[in-house]
Amino acid sequence: MKRRHKGSCHCGDVRFECELDLADGTSKCNCSICSKSRFWKAIVPASDFRLLQGADQLADYQFAGLNIHHQFCKTCGVKPFGRGSFEPIGAFYAVNIMCLNDVSDTELAEAPVAVEDGRNNRWGPGSEPAIISHL
Domains, the chain, with CATH or none: 3-23+38-102 (2.170.150.70)
Model pLDDT, residue 135 = 75
Give the helix ranges, DSSP H, for the chain: 32-37, 105-110
Rg (CA), the chain: 14
93-128 pLDDT, tens digit each? 999 999 999 999 999 999 999 998 888 888 777 788
Model pLDDT, residue 76 = 98
Threshold 0.85, pTM exceeds: yes
Q: What percent of the chain has pLDDT over 90?
A: 68
63-98 pLDDT, tens digit each? 877 778 999 999 999 999 999 998 878 999 999 999
Residue 134's pLDDT band (cuts 50, 70, 90): confident
Sequence-distant (≥ 6) Cβ neighbours of residue 129 within 8 angstroms: 30, 115, 117, 119, 120
